Structure 1
Amino acid sequence: MQRGTRLSDGRTLPRSGPTHVPSVHDARAALGARLRELRVNAQLTGRQLAALLHWPHSKVSKLENGRQTPSSEDIRAWTGATNAVSNAEALLVSLQTLETQYAEWQRQLRTGLKPHQAKLTELNARTRFFRVFEPTFVPGLLQTAEYARARFEQSGRVFGVRHDIDEAVQTRIQRQEILYRPEKRFHFVLTEAVLRYRLCPPEVMLGQLDRLVSLSMLRNVKLGIIGFDVEYDVAPAHGFWLLDEDRAMIETFSAELNLAQPQETELYGRIFARLATVEGISYGRDARNLIANAAEHWAAYQPDESA
């Protein structure tokens, strides 16, 4: 018999069966279905509407089938051509919600790396309880300036945005001031792989590990590390941040997802609880021992100055 996850307050979280959580694709498909409805009500075929708007027919098809997100100009043009201008405002609200859910990096970083960090600063200021799971890299709130620079340089190479790395690093480090506010709570869960991945020079990683040890001793910061020998209850498929009970944030290669529907945040809350209480996870001194072991690993890459 499979047991649920035992929480720190004594409650048992039951294993959950398959759950359908509305996705960004669902939201895009729903918007496309509404656009199709307006076209059909106007007694226009897809080709006729495309001709009226001077669009390729494929664009109408992609919008209606949720394979492309319309712009606000597309919606205004569509509602005008279908004599449904009164529907434009509601559709634009749906579009704004969709764009909040799915924020493409190419669009977000168009003006540089710093503005996105400033946006996160404002969001973090409103958040009181942070739950963060990362299987690959050190979370931004725990990064040293040198580690942050390495992360931004990697992003810059992918997206061609490298003109404001210094400003982005400075803004990220300033964000970390919230770690010292007693009214805020932080629960970070990392995999041991985070301590070992070679995402920066060894000397940078050594400094980063030292900072993890220091921050793990803050009263309002709880740091858990899932060691290589731990058997997972839930696969560490991707990292995510839970901000209070209001939002789950996930970063992919192409976009930042912001999930705010209750069933979405509840699902990620259950997943975090499983990861944070998996049998064998290390906290406190045990977590710091794993960090120390990783530091010994990285120290072996340092040149022998006595030679």
Structure 2
Amino acid sequence: MSTDYQQAREALGLRLRELRLTAPDGRLTGTALARTLGWPNSRISKLELGRQTATPEDLQQWAAACGRPEAYDELRARLAGFESHIRSWRRQLVAGHRPVQDAHNEAQASSTLLWAWESSWVVGVLQTPDYARAVLTRSAELHRSPRDVEAAVRARMERQKLLYTGGRRYHILLWEPVLRSLVCSPSALAAQLDRLAGVIGMDTVELGIVPLTASMKVPPGTGFWIYDDRQVVTEVWHAEMWLDDADSIALYLRTWQTLRESAVYGADAHNVINAARRSLNPR
């Protein structure tokens, strides 16, 4: 968890404590507030100390229980401020995977220069339907989220229209293990590799492959997207991070440029993809 995020969460906790101690009908103890809300005492403590992230419902109930319902708007704004950077999967996937795909579609549609690095799977804008279906199904299983996989697949396929409408340029780097990872069936992966081979040479996409044998100045790390010079999106198991501060964007651009030094393009990229394709059917 980022330091900025944690500091913001602690600041929200201090504000919650202030509301409890300055309730119009007299200061509330943590025990009394917990009893009113029907919560365990530990939950009050965790929220006030910034050890747990409140939900909007938590904030609304807290403000009402402290006799300050009008404070909810302020509390919600504080929460939205730091959640705009750290978007937990638990919260994002409450309504399923389709809304998440729509958010990425909008972000890419509003960009003209896009850089991507991926070390785990093929980026969504280049996925086949079967590959996307396999990845999204496993994600839904992992996060125990609503199973709207087919709607999410359709949204991801809609994103690919951006490759053909012009007005933007994709610079995409994939690590070779992405080409060999069986996150789907062998037949689906074979079709996905054929798709990648067909992308090479498109005027809207520059696709580079970083071979396993390449010398690398930085470890592969996690995947990320950079939209123009205004936003970075990266993800970990529990959340996505949408970063818009200049220092973070500059760091990710330097990271991408460093990774690019290890990439191959054109015919050499074809050779790496074809080798992975042959390995699926060695005979």
CA distance in 2, matches of 1:262, 1:256: 18
- Other-structure match for 2:13: 32
For residues 101-112 of structure 1, what are the structure 2 equivalents within 5 Å? 101-112=85-96
- The aligned residue for residue 114 of structure 1 is 98
The share of aligned pairs that are identical, in percent, is: 37
Q: Which residue of 2 aligns with 1:276?
A: 260
Say which of 140, 145, 155 aligns to 1:156: 140
**Counterpart residue identity of residue 288, structure 1:** H
In structure 2, the residue matched to 1:298 is 280
CA distance in 2, matches of 1:276, 1:41: 56
Contact 2:95 2:146 in 1 (8 A): no
For the residue of structure 1 that corresponds to 2:115, the secondary structure is strand
- Residues 50-77 of structure 1: CA deviation (Å, up to 9, x unaligned): 3454432211211122221112233344
Are the counterparts in 2 of residues 153 and 162 from structure 1 also a CA contact under 8 Å?
A: no
Deviations 1:181-223 (A, max 9, x none): 3210111111111111111222221211111122121112111
State the SS of the aligned residue for 1:186.
strand
Aligned CA distance change for structure 1 residues 51 and 271 (closer, same or farther; 3 Å): same
1:36 to 1:239, Cα distance in 2 relative to 1, 3 A:
same
Deviation at 1:135, TM superposition (A): 0.4
5+ residue gaps, structure 1: 1-19
8 A contact 1:246–1:260 mirrored in 2: yes
Rate the CA distance shift 1:33–1:285 in 2: closer, same or farther, 3 A: farther
Q: Give 2:267's aligned residue.
A: 285
1:113-132 correspondence to structure 2 within 5 Å: 113-132=97-116
1:299 aligned counterpart, secondary structure: coil
User: Match of 1:159, as an amino acid?
Assistant: H
Q: Deviations over 1:147-180 (max 9, x none)?
A: 1111122123223457432332222112101011
Return the structure number with greater helix share.
2
Q: Structure 2: how far apart are the matches of 1:252 and 1:21? A: 12
Q: Cα 1:85–1:170, aligned 2, differ >3 Å: closer, same or farther?
A: closer
Residues 80-119 of structure 1: matches in 2 within 5 Å? Answer: 80=64, 87-119=71-103
Query: Does residue 169 of the first structure (1) align with residue 153 of the second (2)?
Result: yes
Equivalent residue for 1:16?
none
1:258-269 alignment to 2 at 5 Å? 258-269=242-253
| C-alpha distance in structure 2 between counterparts of 1:74 and 1:162, whole Å | 22
User: Which blocks of at least 5 consecutive residues in structure 2 are unaligned?
Assistant: none
Residues in 2 aligned to 1:273 and 1:34: alpha-carbon distance in whole angstroms? 42
Change (3 A) 1:129 1:30: farther
Matched letter for residue 72 of structure 1: P
Q: Distance in 2 between matches of 1:288 and 1:113?
A: 32
Counterparts in 2 of 1:75 and 1:152: CA distance versus 1, 3 Å:
closer
> What's the counterpart of residue 183 of structure 1?
167
1:232 shift after superposition: 2.3
Q: Residue 56 and residue 173 in structure 1: after superposition, are their counterparts in 2 closer, same or farther (change >3 A)? A: same
Distance in 2, matches of 1:181 and 1:233, equals 35
Matched with 1:59 is 43
Aligned-residue RMSD, C-alpha: 2.6
Task: Count matched residues.
Answer: 280
Deviation of the 1:142 alpha carbon: 0.6
Flag the 1:32–1:267 CA change in 2: closer, same or farther, 3 A: farther
Secondary structure at the aligned position of 2:117 is classed as strand
Give the CA deviation at 1:34.
Answer: 3.2
What code does the residue aligned with 1:115 have? P
- Aligned 8 A contact 1:21 1:263 in 2: no
Deviation at 1:122, TM superposition (A): 2.2
CA distance in 1, matches of 2:30, 2:97: 40
Letter in 2 for 1:69: T
TM-score relative to the length of structure 2? 0.86
- The one-letter amino acid of 1:186's match is Y
Within 1, Cα distance between the matches of 2:2 and 2:42?
Answer: 29
CA contact (8 A) 1:206 1:299 kept: no
Which amino acid is 2:173 matched to?
V
Distance 1:57 1:161 in 2: 29
Q: Tell me the alpha carbon deviations over residues 20-47 of structure 1, each in whole angstroms, 9 at most, x when there is no partner.
A: 9644333322322333344456665544
Distance 1:109 1:73, change over 3 A: closer
CA distance in 2, matches of 1:210, 1:113: 26
